[in-house]
Amino acid sequence: MAEKTLSYDRYLAGLPPDRRTEVDNVWRLVRQNIQPGYTEEISPGLLLFKAGDDWYVALANQKNYISLHLMAIYAFPALHKKLEASTKLKMGKACINFKRAEDLPLDVIAEIVAGFKAEDYIAHVNKLRSDYKAKRKS
């Protein structure tokens, strides 16, 4: 069964009222800073920008928090360190969990989102995969 495509407004309307403004503020920042070449996808579970088939930025409403996935911080460890130094929020390898947009280092997030053209990001991710496969074979 095909997944139903949502509009951004319908996605927001489906969120709990206290999360709508937070999600909207962060996603608006992402949209304002994303480089050309990325594809936006909206599903019932998350908002997403992709470079080809690879995730670049995603935003998901979880039960107890909102999760911003910045895949560039996984692909570029220096960016992870920069983001980690600018916040005390809980972070994973490529995500940051928050309840209020004002708790995020929005200037650093905007810089990360704006940092890569889609084709450059795809090339870097493909090189990482190729290097990993070569390392595993040796």
Within a domain: residue 62? yes
Whole domain around residue 72: which residue ranges?
8-137
In a domain, residue 3? The reply is no
User: What's the CATH code of the domain at 29?
Assistant: 3.90.1150.200
> Which tokens sit at 44?
């019932």
Total tally of structural domains belonging to the chain: 1
String of b and e for 104-133 (b: at least 16 CB within 10 Å)? bbeebbeebbeebebeebbebbeeeeeeee
64 is a domain residue: yes
Reply yes or no on whether the pLDDT at 48 is more than 90. Answer: yes
Strands 95-98 and 47-51, bridge-based pairing: unpaired
pLDDT, position 5: 67
User: Residue 134: which pLDDT band, with cuts at 50, 70 and 90?
Assistant: confident
Does a structural domain hold residue 95?
Answer: yes
Residue 108: inside a domain: yes
pTM of the model: 0.89
pLDDT tens track for 68-119: 999 999 999 999 899 989 988 889 899 999 999 999 999 999 999 999 999 9
Domain assignment of residue 47, yes or no = yes
The distance of Cα 111 from the centroid of its chain, to the nearest Å, equals: 13
> What is the Cα gyration radius of the chain?
15
Judge whether 2 lies within some domain.
no
Q: Is residue 1 part of a domain?
A: no
